[in-house]
Amino acid sequence: MRARIILTFKQHRFETVAVTIVSVGLTVAALIEAYRLNSLNVPLSCLLSYHGDFVDPSQGPITAAQAHCNELAKSFFDTKQSLDMNLVQLLLLLVPLLAGIVVGAPLVAREIEQGTAPLSWGLSGSRRRWLLGKVLAGVLLLAPLMLAVGLAANVLEGALSPGLNPYASFSNYLGRGVIDVFWALAAFAGTFALGTLLGRTMPAVVVALVVCFFVRAAWDSGMGHFVLRSFAVPQVQQDQQNQQIGYVVYGPGGPAFADMTLYYKTFIDGKEVTDAQANAWYAQNMVCTPIPTPSDSTSPAEAGSPGASSSPGAPATPDYSNMGNGGIACQGPTIDPSHMPQQIPYVIPGSWYWQIVALESGILLLGSLFCGAIAFVWVDRRRPY
Amino acid sequence: MATDAGVLLAQATGIALQAHALSKRFGRKVALDAVDLTVPAGSVTALVGPNGAGKTTLIRVCMAFERPNGGMVEVDGVDPWKHRSEALRRVGYVPQTPAVYRGLDVDDHLAMARSLHSGFDAEYARKRLNQLGIPLDQRADTLSGGQAAQLGLAIALGTRAKVLLLDEPLANLDPLARREFIQVLIDAVKSDGSTALLSSHIVTDVEEACDRLVILGAGKVLLDCPLEEARQAHRLTDSKSPPPGGVAVGSFAGKGLTRLTLWRVPADAGDGAWAATEPASLEEVVLGYLAAGRGTTGLQLN
């Protein structure tokens, strides 16, 4: 088996070298970018108080220390939003999938295309053993390289979001860490299965690219809807703990929590209500009056911006859709806030990072095994040309 | 158990490969039509026929690359479709086009064969390649067509298989490379005592190498006999009048504008059978049967 693995590397020399160079290069690039951010040594408080070029006159004159702090934060965010940083982040997301596709596509398909399959299959009593040698070579190549890429992505994630523990947060968690290995293996297994079915390399690559794109795009919502939903807990229970541990991620968009928010529930006086019931409550209790111009609108929090609604324990966002185009201003009810509708986010706490990564990695692994099984069955049945 | 019985029977009867009523269809196209074939152990059998006759399909069925639609085939007493590993252990295969891995050198090919075939004798294959002056460290994609074919043959011989199946290995070789290939094959078969089935559509190539001839046309076996018998039992005339006791096989265009008819003449035919006829070369025997396979027998000609 060892000889077969080494020969597979030799046989697929181009793919092996290309994937190795790209993966190592990306790992180094991610670590350099992380170093660039870390070397700025921006205190968390500066990131938190960052106000950009906007100066609020009501806050009084800016001190030299505040200006310096603001400059530091600005340089941090400029680096964070630079082109090369975005490129590295994009590649960190794509490379595990692309590496799996590049290594997987020619594994069987090229043998069939180039007419070498009859030679190998004529020598080997068991085509499955033949395929196993090739698959092991692919796994041995991809696993360590993607682990390196994933770990570098974790380091970068930590640098991008100071105060964040990458191993206890769901911020970008599908594009970093151990799960990168399983993304690559899933793409690899799916692509070599396609190559075995189609017997052609390029069609296998094209189909694999399309399938991977859709699977990756649908993964978040699919997992949230079908798998993780049942594990979600009300964030209000976790919030205090999160704050104590310091799970808060800071960025230009404001603070966000390390938890994975899956859905919201609205309660009035401790009783769960539907959105329609909450809207009915607001219609009864809000006081709305026409205002002269649309520019004199209410503050974002009152207008129901996402930032406001994501804040745990905040009042539910009223539905203003039938209130015209900014011509009406509404004021909240003058009753005890504890009796107002409360919108509670249901989340997977960041502290469950490893369990969720293990779960999703397991699902990806199962998918890989399923695709592999198809290839192993089909290779035994198909013609070698 | 069935495999063991088949092997013992094959050994007892001295049959290396046999097919009975073997059929294979690709959609509506019939590639093999109730083929009956017997290849005695120790023989070198030429499987001759035009393109599309079913030669490659027959060999592929023997390699378990194709599933037959009917009938049976056994390689050294083993049904390749039912017992593929058992069958392939007994077969050395040379594919139609020289199949080499572009990124690997010659020695890598032998290492690969060794990793795939438990009984592969790499030293034996290496020795044969050395005799031909093929460098073991040369990249396979830089080998000439003849060298690549020799590499394929060395791999097949290295399996030390009882039966060698060679699927038109000479098709893309120049005359010198063809001669060298055949010499190596004859030498190996004689020294190893193996059996070879060599398919080709070039009759002169196989004439010197083989001792048995199978002519395949349109998926049917048109002739299956020892080579010498094929030569002696057939005569040629340029007229439609049959020699005494002769049976017309087929008619085909000879040199110039003459139309030649091939006759099968029984061994005990009188002197009159030979007087008006010419001896047929092996190529003419094949042409006569192929013409018959297309339905152009001498009796149907103008």
Per-domain boundaries in chain A = 2-231+351-381, 260-348
Which positions 137-196 of B are in contact with A (Cβ < 8 Å)?
152, 155, 159
Average pLDDT over chain B, rounded to an integer: 85
What's the whole-number mean pLDDT along residues B75-100? 89
Measured distance CA(A196)–CA(B81) in Å, rounded:
20
* Predicted pLDDT at B10: 62
pLDDT in tens, B32-66: 999 999 999 889 999 998 888 899 999 999 999 99
Helices (H), A223-295: 235-245, 275-285
Residue of A nearest to B84 (CA): A125
Size of interface A-B (CB pairs under 8 A): 75
The CA R_g of chain A, rounded to the nearest whole Å, is: 27
CB B282 within 8 A of CB B226: no
CB pair distance less than 8 Å for A4 and B116: yes
Measured distance CA(B26)–CA(B81) in Å, rounded:
17
- Say how many domains are in chain B: 2
Output B269 or A368, whichever has higher pLDDT: A368
Under DSSP, the state recorded for A315 is: B
A200 touches B: beta carbon within 8 Å: no
Report which listed range, A189-193, B203-207, B270-274, B288-292, is most confident.
A189-193
Q: To probe the interface with B, which of A10, A110, A123 has the most B CB atoms within 10 Å?
A: A123
Run of H or E including A290: strand A287-290
Q: Which residues, other chains included, contact B81 with Cβ-Cβ below 8 Å and sequence gap of 6+?
A: B61, B64, B67, B68, B73
Measured distance CA(A378)–CA(A188) in Å, rounded:
16
Measured distance CA(A49)–CA(B21) in Å, rounded:
88
B chain contacts of residue A1, beta-carbon cutoff 8 Å: 115
What's the whole-number mean pLDDT along residues B284-300? 68
- In which domain, by residue range, is B241 found? 233-300
Whether residue B115 sits in one domain with residue B93: yes
CA distance A93 to chain B (A): 31
Q: Are strands A342-348 and B259-264 parallel, antiparallel or unpaired?
A: unpaired
Whether residue B165 is predicted with pLDDT greater than 60 in this model: the reply is yes
Which positions 105-134 of A are in contact with B (Cβ < 8 Å)?
114-116, 118-126, 130, 133
Out of A10, A125, A384, name the one closest to residue B104 (CB).
A10
* Predicted pLDDT at A309: 36
CB contact burial A32-47 (16+ within 10 A = b; e otherwise): ebbebbeebebeeebb
Out of B104, B152, B155, name the one closest to residue A7 (CB).
B104
Burial class (CB in 10 A: 0-12, 13-18, 19+), A304: middle
Phi, psi of A183 (to 5 degrees): -60, -45
* Predicted pLDDT at A283: 80
CA distance B56 to chain A (A): 12
Q: Report the amino acid identity of residue B55.
A: K
CA distance A113 to chain B (A): 11
Band of pLDDT at residue B25, cut at 50, 70 and 90: very high
B84 touches A: beta carbon within 8 Å: yes
The sign of the dihedral angle between the CA atoms of A212, A214, A219, A220 is positive
What's the whole-number mean pLDDT along residues B191-212? 86
* Predicted pLDDT at A245: 45
Measured distance CA(A189)–CA(A102) in Å, rounded:
11
Under DSSP, the state recorded for A314 is: P
Q: pLDDT exceeding 90 applies to what percent of chain B? A: 42
Please report, for residues A127, A385, B25, B233, the alpha-carbon distance to residue B96 in angstroms, rounded to integers and kept in the order given. Answer: 20, 12, 20, 32
Please report, for residues A23, A99, A108, the alpha-carbon distance to residue A189 in angstroms, rounded to integers and kept in the order given. Answer: 19, 11, 11
* Predicted pLDDT at A314: 47
What's the whole-number mean pLDDT along residues B140-156? 90
B83 touches A: beta carbon within 8 Å: no
CB pair distance less than 8 Å for A124 and B102: no
CB B159 within 8 A of CB A123: yes
CA distance A108 to chain B (A): 13
Whether residue B269 sits in one domain with residue B206: no
Q: Report the amino acid identity of residue B88.
A: L
Whether residue B175 is predicted with pLDDT greater than 70 in this model: the reply is yes
Other C-beta atoms lying within 10 Å of the C-beta of residue B141: 12
Output B238 or A11, whichever has higher pLDDT: A11
pLDDT in tens, B250-263: 888 877 778 888 88
CB B287 within 8 A of CB B297: no
Whether residue B238 sits in one domain with residue B209: no
Helices (H), chain A: 2-11, 13-38, 44-48, 64-80, 83-104, 106-113, 117-123, 127-160, 179-198, 201-222, 235-245, 275-285, 300-303, 306-310, 353-381
Whether residue B204 sits in one domain with residue B123: yes
Under DSSP, the state recorded for B47 is: E
The predicted complex's ipTM stands at 0.84
CB pair distance less than 8 Å for A123 and B155: yes
- Report how far apart the first and last C-alpha atoms of chain A are (Å, whole number): 24
C-alpha of B293 from chain center: 18
Whether residue B259 sits in one domain with residue B153: no
Whether residue B97 sits in one domain with residue B133: yes
Band of pLDDT at residue B192, cut at 50, 70 and 90: confident
Helix (H/G/I), strand (E/B), else coil: A249: strand
Measured distance CA(A210)–CA(A217) in Å, rounded:
11
Under DSSP, the state recorded for A115 is: T
Residue of B nearest to A382 (CA): B65
A163 touches B: beta carbon within 8 Å: no
Give residue for tokens 């290849």.
Answer: B39
pLDDT in tens, B88-108: 989 999 988 778 998 899 999
Whether residue B243 sits in one domain with residue B181: no
Report which listed range, A17-21, A66-70, B130-134, B234-238, is most confident.
A17-21
CB B89 within 8 A of CB B119: yes
CA distance A95 to chain B (A): 25
Of B167, B201, B226, which residue sits at a domain end? B226
What's the whole-number mean pLDDT along residues B172-194? 86
| Best CA proximity match to B167, nearest among A126, A201, A115 | A115
Strand partners, B165: B93, B197
Phi, psi of A39 (to 5 degrees): -70, -15
CA distance A114 to chain B (A): 8
C-alpha of A55 from chain center: 34
CB B200 within 8 A of CB B206: yes
Band of pLDDT at residue B171, cut at 50, 70 and 90: confident
CA distance B147 to chain A (A): 16
DSSP string over B87-120: HHHTEEEE-SS----TTSBHHHHHHHHHHH-TT-
Measured distance CA(A303)–CA(A310) in Å, rounded:
13
Whether residue B145 sits in one domain with residue B56: yes
Q: To probe the interface with A, which of B85, B93, B101, B151 has the most A CB atoms within 10 Å?
A: B101
C-alpha of A107 from chain center: 29
Q: To probe the interface with A, which of B112, B120, B137, B141 has the most A CB atoms within 10 Å?
A: B112
A384 touches B: beta carbon within 8 Å: yes
Whether residue B209 sits in one domain with residue B99: yes
Whether residue B135 sits in one domain with residue B200: yes
A3 touches B: beta carbon within 8 Å: yes
CB B105 within 8 A of CB B48: no
Of B210, B226, B242, which residue sits at a domain end? B226
* Predicted pLDDT at A375: 96
Q: Are strands A342-348 and B70-75 parallel, antiparallel or unpaired?
A: unpaired
Measured distance CA(B73)–CA(B71) in Å, rounded:
7
CB A260 within 8 A of CB A370: no
**pLDDT under 70: residue ranges of chain A:** 55-57, 59-60, 236-257, 290-335
Band of pLDDT at residue B205, cut at 50, 70 and 90: confident
Run of H or E including B37: strand B29-40
Whether residue B177 sits in one domain with residue B98: yes
CB B235 within 8 A of CB B277: yes
CATH number at residue B169: 3.40.50.300
Q: Report the amino acid identity of residue B142.
A: T
* Predicted pLDDT at A62: 74
Whether residue B269 sits in one domain with residue B134: no
Helices (H), chain B: 2-13, 55-62, 84-89, 106-116, 122-131, 145-158, 175-192, 203-207, 227-232, 272-275, 282-293
